Amino acid sequence: MELFRISRIIPFMRHVKVLNLISFAAFIAAVFFIVVRGFNLSIEFTGGTVMEVHYEQTAQVEEIRNALSDIGYSDFQVQSFGTSQDVLIRLPATDTNDTSAQSESVLAALQAQHSDVELRRVEFVGPQVGQELVHNGLLALLFVVVGIMVYLAFRFEWKLAIACAIANLHDVVIILGFFALFQWEFSLPVLAGVLAVLGYSVNESVVVMDRIRENFRKQRRMPVPEIINLSITQNISRTIITHGSTQLMVLSMFFFGGPTLHYFSLALTIGIWFGIYSSVFVASGISLGLGLKREDLIPKQVNKDEEPTAEALD
């Protein structure tokens, strides 16, 4: 399906060296901010106080958030729990870890809004739980990266596989760099968004690389940079349809999904745009820099009247 067809080949590879230098600089900057500034980890990673409260009427989640903000909390989570009258509140850990003092101040703020608020339970989630979540999250990210690299190694010639792998790593590190630079809250939904971007980005890279491989077999006399330009140009309509429809869905979560989905959709938005960029310039540029040529993708033909040589068999 195509919305439009471009009649001329767009010279994407004309300035690929400059763009790859910019990408490399952005990658190094992202790594720098990750190492120096670190992440603003959410309660799920750092531990904190969990409160369950009950209302006689339907609980107004936004009012509860406003009450917590008024008493000085900025990093917290509020969500319905079981029924519309039960609410689960997660508060960050304090220096003293005084759970009773935290719960009393929060309950007083909530009762100032509605006197019928009832505290059902209070418990402290220790940092050990947070450490386990960090460990499991990093393991999940590692397994996804390794799985993608194994898939690419079987799917493509090694130059294209390495280019795709580096492009996908580029997208993930850039997202993490944004969260480290601006100290946006890094939560489990954000980690899920990063993993989703990995799969989303590798799909776009595979489509572009497939078209490059196909055009190598069709365009026998065209130079390698022109083949890459042709392949990317042919995919522009598909890219606009795919990424445009996905971005519309993500933007709906960003504007109407509330605080729970805010940073999740933000991570997806960054990943979508940098996924387009990396598939066009990073992956294709790296494959070109690695010396991709027609012989890498087109098997050598053996004359039927001659015995195949050892080189041809290899």
Task: Report yes or no on 271 lying in a domain.
Answer: yes
6 versus 298: the higher-pLDDT residue is 6
The token pair that represents 231 in the structure block: 């392949």
95 and 202 co-located in one domain? no
Of the ranges 116-120, 175-179, 189-193, 205-209, the best mean pLDDT one? 175-179
What would the pLDDT profile of 211-260 be if each residue is shown by its tens digit?
888 888 888 788 888 999 998 898 888 888 888 899 999 999 999 888 77
Task: Report yes or no on 304 lying in a domain.
Answer: no
1 — pLDDT class (breaks 50, 70, 90): low
Closest to 246 in 3D by CA, of 284, 283, 193, 169: 193
Domain span including residue 133 = 12-39+129-296
Q: Where are the alpha helices (DSSP H) in 183-235?
A: 188-218, 224-234
138 and 280 co-located in one domain? yes
**Within 13 Å of residue 95, how many CA atoms lie on the same side as its CB?**
0
| Tokens 């990673």 -> residue | 45
Helix (H) or strand (E) holding 117: none
Check if the beta carbon of residue 302 is closer than 8 Å to that of residue 312.
Answer: yes
Check if the beta carbon of residue 174 is closer than 8 Å to that of residue 27.
Answer: yes
Q: Look at residue 74 in the predicted model and tell me its pLDDT.
A: 78
- Long-range residue pairs from 153-159, CB within 8 A, at least 24 positions apart, any chain: 155/206, 156/209, 156/213, 157/213, 157/296, 157/297, 159/287, 159/290, 159/291, 159/292, 159/296
93 versus 285: the higher-pLDDT residue is 285
Q: Is the pTM of this model over 0.85?
A: no
299 — pLDDT class (breaks 50, 70, 90): low
Q: Look at residue 135 in the predicted model and tell me its pLDDT.
A: 77
d(CA 48, CA 41): 12
Task: Report yes or no on 103 lying in a domain.
Answer: yes
| Tokens 């445009």 -> residue | 244
145 and 30 co-located in one domain? yes
The token pair that represents 263 in the structure block: 């940073």
**Number of structural domains in the chain:** 2
d(CA 298, CA 294): 6
The token pair that represents 30 in the structure block: 């992202």
Per DSSP bridges, beta strands 40-41 and 83-92 are unpaired
Proportion of the chain above pLDDT 90, given as a percent: 22
Any idea what the CATH number is for the domain that residue 106 is in?
3.30.70.3400
Q: Look at residue 302 in the predicted model and tell me its pLDDT.
A: 46
What would the pLDDT profile of 8-22 be if each residue is shown by its tens digit?
888 888 888 888 899
Q: Look at residue 280 in the predicted model and tell me its pLDDT.
A: 82
The token pair that represents 241 in the structure block: 């349809």
151 and 114 co-located in one domain? no
What would the pLDDT profile of 94-128 be if each residue is shown by its tens digit?
766 677 888 888 999 999 988 889 999 888 876 65
Per DSSP bridges, beta strands 40-41 and 185-186 are parallel
d(CA 231, CA 10): 10
What would the pLDDT profile of 147-170 be if each residue is shown by its tens digit?
777 777 777 778 888 888 888 888
75 and 210 co-located in one domain? no
Task: Report yes or no on 310 lying in a domain.
Answer: no
Closest to 274 in 3D by CA, of 187, 183, 189, 169: 169
230 and 277 co-located in one domain? yes
